[in-house]
Amino acid sequence: MAKPNVILIMTDQQRWDTLSCAGNPVIQTPNLDYLASEGTLFDNAYSCTPSCIPARASLLTGMNPWNTGILGMGRGQGPMGTGFEHTLPGELAQAGYHTQGVGKMHFSPQRVLNGFHRTVLDESGRAEDPGFVSNYRRWFEQNKTGDYDYTDHGISWNSWMARPNHAPEYLHPTNWTVNESIQFLKERDPRKPFFLKMSFARPHSPYDALPYYFDLYMKKNLPSAVVGEWASIHDDKRTAFNPDAWRGKRPGEDIHQARAGYYGSINHIDHQIGRLFHYLKKQKLWQNTLIIFTSDHGDMMGDHNLWRKTYAYEGSAHVPMIVKLPQQAGVAVTERVDAPVVLQDIMPTILDAVGLQIPDTVDGKSVLPLMMEEKPLWRDYIHGEHSTCYSEEQEMQYVTDGRIKYIWFPRLGTEQLFDLRQDRYELIDRSTDPNYSDTLLRWRRRLIAELAPRDVGLTEGDRLINQAGKPPIVSPRYRERLERAEREDDV
């Protein structure tokens, strides 16, 4: 029997609550809803290091952040780079798959393959290597119809501002990503199964949805930003004036416009994904293709007066995940799973589904038993973290099972506890509530159990140790990977 094809669809910075099938009453995501109806929707999927580079490193390798060596984007942290012993595209390529990455990879150097046979890149505004021009940027310049640039709408890559895109629809990076993906399917080696990672640069800011989508959601009654009483620390009036602010209270009109651009971008992506699905069916590839949809992390979108990512809160760390098995698997799957899963689980899930051995370096677990309702022994919770990025006060560690969430801020020495069962948007901090004292202690101990084996001064006995004024923690695995990459370069 022929090995199944694999498509991994990844958006950039998409929250878990922006799918109609996940319960959002406003957004239109018909094609992703259809994908969920053909597979399984994971209600509690999390990004263990919710920013672009570390999240993608964990997805690429199936490894926890401590083992990739990338604990965030900020002080003491390096780029994704190379030197990984095993990667998802690398394992599939060795097994005879034709592998291609389209869109945002966020590798360093930017043209490194990390196991892919070829990458066709849209790196947004990143041009980190000498002479680097992304495939999308080159194509845009060759096909534009006037004297304008792709950023002439005036909104930067991390802004809360929003407006309709200024260029013709066919030039939008979302369309380009699907065009290039379909082109790969037309030109691939037909003798081999394929692995395609289709990675969109949106709905990450700029929130520049096409006019049709932007106008559609400007007219809708969109969810307002939620702000807990504890979030007053983020109501920084000076910071809020910065067009690239990571925190600060903005007027409701600004938040509505940002969400209209954000929702519109997701609706646009969904329509373009529909084009891919149509092509797969037309070429009789749909039935024998494993399809996974997810995002690297979310976007706070003004919740708790925060923007962007790197936070432990639901808007930042909780991501969508849908898995559709190839029909040849011949098994019935459950519609929804509420067990906690992470991006690290994607690599072992794919390898398991196509019958390949999972390398010992992989920390994640295949979710196939969860889909098949086999009631496997599963993790009780997941652990996430992020190093200092925008501010020391936001460096964080968290543990959650999707029902309770405990957060520790190492450089403040403070903690939070949320009961997600009745407070999904984390409005009420229960850490000082006497009714939750036993719960707080249990979850704090869980975090200590995760951190103690590192032996880097984060814990002492049954205590978490304040990191204020101390240098950033660097995983020894990062140095090991750099040394491995240097050895590979010398060969």
Burial-class residue 476 by CB neighbours within 10 Å (0-12, 13-18, 19+).
Answer: exposed
CA triple 274-10-220, angle to 5 deg = 60
pLDDT given for residue 491 in this prediction: 54
Do both 84 and 203 map to the same domain? yes
Q: Do 267 and 27 touch, CB atoms closer than 8 A?
A: yes
Give the domain CATH number at 452. Answer: 3.30.1120
C-alpha to C-alpha distance for 66 and 45, rounded to whole angstroms: 19
Are 44 and 339 spatial neighbours (Cβ–Cβ below 8 Å)?
A: yes
Same domain, 362 and 299: yes
**How many CA atoms does the CB half-sphere of 166 hold within 13 Å?**
14
Chain centre to alpha carbon of residue 395: 18
Residues 55 and 181 in one domain: yes
Considering the domain architecture, whether residues 210 and 224 belong to the same structural domain is answered as yes
Give the closest residue to 210 by CA, choosing from 172, 251, 162. 172
User: Tell me, what's the pLDDT at 235?
Assistant: 87
Q: How many domains does the chain have?
A: 2
- In this structure, the answer to whether residues 313 and 407 fall within a common structural domain is no
What is the three-state SS of 202-270?
A: EECCCECCCHHHHHHHHCCCCCCCCCCHHHHHHCCHHHHCCCCCCECCCCHHHHHHHHHHHHHHHHHHH
Q: What is the pLDDT along the chain (491 residues), one digit of tens a residue?
A: 689 999 999 999 999 999 999 999 999 999 999 999 999 999 999 999 999 999 999 999 999 999 999 999 877 777 887 889 999 999 999 999 999 999 999 999 999 999 999 999 999 999 999 999 999 999 999 999 999 999 999 999 999 999 999 999 999 999 999 999 999 999 999 999 999 999 999 999 999 999 999 999 999 999 999 999 999 888 887 889 999 999 999 999 999 999 999 999 999 999 999 999 999 999 999 999 999 999 999 999 999 999 999 999 999 999 999 999 998 767 889 999 999 999 999 999 999 999 999 999 999 999 999 999 877 899 999 999 999 999 988 999 999 999 999 999 999 999 999 999 999 999 999 999 999 999 999 999 999 999 999 999 999 999 999 999 999 999 998 888 878 777 766 65
Catalytic residue, chosen from 86, 106, 304, 386, is: 106
Same domain, 356 and 399: no
Residues 88, 62: contact at Cβ < 8 Å? yes
Q: Pick from 383, 415, 449: which residue ends a domain?
A: 383
In this structure, the answer to whether residues 260 and 146 fall within a common structural domain is yes
Boundaries of domain holding 187? 5-383
Q: Report pLDDT for 157.
A: 95
Alpha carbon dihedral 8, 334, 55, 124, in 10-degree steps, equals 40
**Structure tokens of 234?**
């983020």
Q: Which of 359, 383, 407 is the last residue of a domain?
A: 383
Do residue 365 and residue 415 come from a single domain? no
CA distances from 76 to 53, 58, 164, 280 (A): 14, 18, 37, 44
Question: For this structure, is 166 an active site residue?
Answer: no
CATH code at 44? 3.40.720.10
pLDDT of residue 404: 98
Name the catalytic one among 21, 52, 98, 268. Answer: 52
464 in the same domain as 395:
yes
For 387, the token pair is 């190093």
Written as six digits, the tokens of 108 are 């360093």
- Last residue of a domain, which of 383, 398, 433? 383
Instruction: Mark whether 357 and 410 lie in a shared domain.
Output: no
Q: Does residue 405 share a domain with residue 318?
A: no
> What's the rounded Cα separation, in Å, for the pair 46 and 343?
7
* 447 in the same domain as 305: no
pLDDT of residue 329: 66
Specify the pTM. Answer: 0.97
52 part of the active site: yes
